[in-house]
A and B are shown apart, each in its own frame.
Chain A
Amino acid sequence: MKYMIMLYGSQQDYDFLSGKPGDQPAWSAEDVAAMHGFMEKWNQDLVDSGEFVDARGLSAPVHARRVQLKDGVPVVTDGPYPETQEVLAGYTIVECESFDRATEIAARLADTPHPDDASLAHEWFVDVRPIMEDRGELDG
């Protein structure tokens, strides 16, 4: 069974991580390295247990484009998100034996290290969602 573990972040979160000064101290290079080290280990554990399928990170939200219909014509908007809106920042797909197991894997991310004085712009969370197994599930 495949599950997608979805991680969120706002443009502001990306800014902190990239060392851009803002309302609060930016993350130091060591802080960022500690976080990346933790994430790599989490990922490697999944590879070792055979539960890893795929993982991707998304570029900063400012790079997003939205395509939508206006008066029947597709119109493109650059950067449709407010800078504090949490949007999908990355995902990891796992293949494991149950939803409960996928939830445990996701819960380990709660231990991700961050600087003592860093407060995230929002309450931290990740989402876990079952991936559809076949086309038949679309015919609801």
Chain B
Amino acid sequence: MTTAVRNDDVEDLLRTLAPQVLGSLVRRFGHFDTAEDAVQEALLAAAVQWPKEGVPGNPRGWLITVGSRRLTDLLRAEQARQRREDTVTRWTLPDQWLAPAADRPAAESDDTLILLFMCCHPALSPASQIALTLRAVGGLTTAEIARAFLVPEATMTRRISRAKQRVKDSGIPFGLPPAPERAARLGAVLHVLYLIFNEGYVSTSGPNLHRAELSAEAIRLTRMVHRLLPDDGEVVGLLALMLLTDARRPARTGRDGALIPMAEQDRTLWNADFIAEGVALISDALPRGATGPYQLQAAIAAVHDEAPTAEATDWPQIEALYELLMRISGNPMVALNHAVAVAMARGPRAGLDLLAELESDERIAADHRLYAVRAHLLEMAGDLATARECYLEAARRTTSLPQQRYLHARAARLG
């Protein structure tokens, strides 16, 4: 029993099923690294066959069957080669034993979460965590990930295989991390998703300011985690933050690709659906107990998005939210944004005083953003000559072309 479908629908379906199929193979047969390759091959086979022949009645079962067969083939070849080379894999069991299962079959949702925890394991570098998450949980091909990160495919292939090898070598058993570790490990997962989102929203190098597909993928994966952990406040906070930030994407760059600061954006271009969804999520989550950094950042984004004009922005509220955020996060970027909010609420001089305190923080002292903010505040205060110098200095310190163009344009306006 099959049904005819469009290519896009098949792609969406495959992306949804990818982590479930991989989870099911690794749970049953182990071999995280080889199983991941087998699943990619099964996804490819489906992407070719289903649009032509229709989606099978049990698409997940189909993928698991094809994936298992590929896994058997790959293992057979691998083990034969290892015996020839006398490099048979031996490993010791981890000290940490899995708890005996309660009397229940494992839920599908567990598999996807377990995979996320594996891909974001602290033994991996952030770049590896991101790449592995996109491939193993997101179901993206190595070529797609390489394109999104503007690196050659060979580089990405090496990065992903090394990451898979590390996961395998660490001997992590396929299961959820023990309860005491779980919160910290979930924090790592959310951080990786946020990095993927930001990579898409603010591209750090190259001519394109945003690579929308990465942001869309981060939102899709965060929605998935939210479905799996509906009661987690920080997951809601992160999803709301992404939606409320991404809502401004259409207004963020002009026709020529130049950056447009929020104060000058055409707010009618903002994505009203995302704003409505993000505001609803955060309004629902805020009163429900502990407020974490993602919730606070989402609340700040909501205040911005709900202002009909830049002038109508409720800066005192944003200042207060940044103060709360500073109490729980030692991030100098938070302090920088706080200084902006203070300047907007109480005048540029008050903001400049706070910036002076930040200059001794070596994590941000050389960052172009500190110079850009100082330039803005000096301009607000009427010190145009010094502002112009600061804009030029900020442009010298950033690698992003759109940022450079924007900062040079600001400097040029001041003579």
Residues of A within 8 A of B (CB): 1, 49-51, 96-101, 103-104, 107, 130, 136-137, 140
- State which residues 128-185 of B face A: CB under 8 Å: 173-175
Pick from A51, A101, A136 the residue with the most CB of B within 10 Å.
A101
Q: How far is the CB of A21 from chain B (nearest CB, A)?
A: 36
B72 and A103 within 8 A (CB): no
Partner of B101, one of A51, A99, A107, A130: A51
Measured between alpha carbons, how far is A53 from B100 in the docked complex, in Å?
Answer: 14
Cβ of A100 and Cβ of B173 under 8 Å apart? Answer: yes
A interface footprint on B372-401 (CB within 8 Å = 1, 0 otherwise): 000000000000000000000000000000
Which of A50, A100, A103, A130 lies in contact with B103, CB distance below 8 A?
A: A50
Q: A98-B28, A100-B175 are in contact. Are A49 and B100 (CB under 8 A)?
A: yes
- List the B side residues contacting A107 at CB < 8 Å: 93
Q: Are A104 and B101 in contact (CB under 8 A)?
A: no
Min Cβ gap B252→A in Å is 45
The 3 closest A-B pairs by CB, nearest first: A49-B100, A100-B173, A97-B101
- Count residues of B near A (Cβ-Cβ below 8 Å): 20
Docked complex Cα distance between A49 and B93 (Å):
21
Q: Is B72 a contact of A104 with CB atoms below 8 Å?
A: no
* Any A CB within 8 A of the CB of B211: no
Q: Find chain A residues with CB under 8 A from B88 CB.
A: none
Chief secondary structure at chain B's binding surface:
loop
Q: Given A1-B28, A136-B65, are A98 and B93 also a contact pair (CB < 8 Å)? A: no
**Do A98 and B65 contact each other (CB < 8 Å), given the known contacts A49-B101, A50-B101?**
no
Pairs across A and B, CB under 8 Å, 11 listed: A1-B28, A49-B101, A98-B26, A98-B28, A98-B98, A100-B175, A101-B173, A101-B175, A104-B97, A107-B93, A140-B72
With A97-B106, A98-B27, A98-B173 as known contacts, state yes or no: A104 contacts B65, CB within 8 Å. Answer: no
B295 close to chain A: CB less than 8 A:
no
Measured in the bound complex, the distance between the Cα atoms of B26 and A137 in whole Å is: 16
Q: B30 near A: Cβ within 8 Å?
A: yes
Question: How far, in Å, is A37 (CB) from chain B's closest CB?
Answer: 21
CB pair B29 A97 closer than 8 Å: no
**Residues of the A chain whose Cβ atoms lie less than 8 Å from the Cβ of B97:** 104
Flag if A51 contacts B100 (CB, 8 Å). Answer: yes
CA distance in complex: A103, B26 (Å): 13
Smallest beta-carbon distance B115→chain A, Å: 12
Contact status A97-B103, CB under 8 Å: no
Interface-central residue, A97, A99, A107, by most chain B CB under 10 Å: A97
Please name all residues of chain B whose beta carbon is closer than 8 Å to the beta carbon of A99 when the two chains form the complex.
27-30, 174
When C-beta atoms are compared, the residue in chain B nearest to A105 turns out to be B100
**Residue in B26, B69, B101 whose CB lies within 8 Å of A96:** B101
* Residues in chain A near residue B69, CB distance under 8 A: 140
By the criterion CB–CB under 8 Å, are B98 and A101 in contact? Answer: yes
Query: Residues 173-206 of chain B: 1 if any A CB is under 8 Å from the residue's CB, otherwise 0?
Result: 1110000000000000000000000000000000
**Complex CA–CA separation, A105 to B63 (angstroms):** 29
Once the chains are docked, how many angstroms separate the CA of A107 from the CA of B93? 8
Within 8 A of A (CB), among B85-115: 93, 97-98, 100-103, 106
Bound complex: CA A138 to CA B39 (Å): 19
Please give the distance in Å from B29's CB to the nearest CB on chain A: 6
Q: Contact between B29 and A130 (Cβ–Cβ < 8 Å)?
A: yes
B73 to chain A, nearest CB (A): 9
Min CB–CB distance B19 → chain A (angstroms): 15
In the assembled complex, B34 has its CB within 8 A of some CB on chain A: no
**In the complex, chain A residues whose CB is within 8 Å of the CB of B98:** 97-98, 100-101, 104
State in angstroms the CA–CA spacing of A97 and B101 once bound together: 6
**Contact A1–B27 (Cβ < 8 Å):** yes
Residue from A99, A137, A140 with most neighbouring chain B CB atoms (10 Å): A99
Check if B100 sits within 8 Å of A98, measured CB to CB: no
Specify which chain B residues have a CB less than 8 angstroms from the CB of A104 in the assembled complex.
93, 97-98, 173
Closest Cβ of chain A to B333, distance in Å, is: 40
A100: B residues at CB distance < 8 A: 30, 98, 173-175
